[in-house]
Homo-oligomer: A and B are copies of this chain.
Amino acid sequence: MADIKAGASQLFLREEELRTGMELLFYAYREFTAEPDEILAQLGLGRAHHRVIYFVGRHPRITVSELLAILKITKQSLSRVLGELVRQGFVTQATGLRDRRQRLLELTEKGVELERKLSETQRQRIARAYRTAGAEAVQGFRKVMMGMLDDEDRAKFAPPGDVRAVGRR
């Protein structure tokens, strides 16, 4: 046993296994974004708007710099979509109290409503996958996904109680 043939076969299995992982990620991400994209299109918005709405909803009173750090896009790119969201009344900007240069972002009621609607389909998709896969599989899923992240992103998922988790002041 453990001859050359077995080694080559193992290598093949490994390669195949890794490519399966790559493709799962590709297809899952595509389907994950497909439904919200349709809803957004009807409103004349795009995926970039969704990301902003999502993270502002997730971190109320987030500053522009913090949002930029999460999204990792330029302020010019953000400004375009954020500006539209503010003008259309999905997001409000409030001057920071401690630092008056900051614009603290928050969803309006209209914004919350849209956020709900958009992520509803995504939550359902994940819930369905979690349910059919089972609790143990979900643990494995999380472990593997965490392993794919860089340290910086991984830190965002620190256990609750760790105040520094989000990187807010």
Residues of chain A touching chain B, judged by Cβ–Cβ distance below 8 Å, are 14-15, 17-32, 51, 54, 58, 72, 119, 122-123, 125-130, 132-134, 136-150, 153, 156-157
Copies in the complex: 2
Contact in complex: B140, A139 (CB < 8 Å) = yes
Contact A137 B126 (CB under 8 A): no
> How many whole Å from A27's CB to the nearest CB in chain B?
4
- 20 contacting pairs across A/B (C-beta < 8 A): A17-B130, A18-B123, A19-B58, A20-B157, A23-B156, A24-B149, A25-B29, A28-B148, A29-B29, A31-B149, A32-B148, A128-B147, A128-B148, A129-B147, A132-B147, A133-B140, A133-B143, A136-B136, A138-B144, A141-B145
**A143-B134 contact given A18-B126, A29-B29, CB 8 Å threshold:** yes
Nearest residue, chain B, Cβ from A127: B18
The reply to whether B156 and A123 contact each other, CB–CB distance below 8 Å, is no
By beta carbon, the residue of chain B nearest A19 is B58
Residues of chain B within 8 A of A21, CB atoms compared? 126, 130, 141-142
Query: A20: which B residues are within 8 A, CB to CB?
Result: 142, 157
The answer to whether A150 touches B31, judged by C-beta atoms less than 8 angstroms apart, is yes
Knowing A27-B156, A72-B30, A123-B18, the reply to whether A129 touches B148 (Cβ < 8 A) is: yes
**Residues on the B chain within 8 Å of A14, using CB:** 127
Which B residues touch A22, using CB under 8 A? Answer: 32, 54, 119, 122-123, 126
Which of A30, A140, A142 has the most C-beta atoms of chain B within 10 angstroms of its own C-beta? A140
Q: How far is the CA of A32 from the CA of B149 in the complex (A)?
A: 8
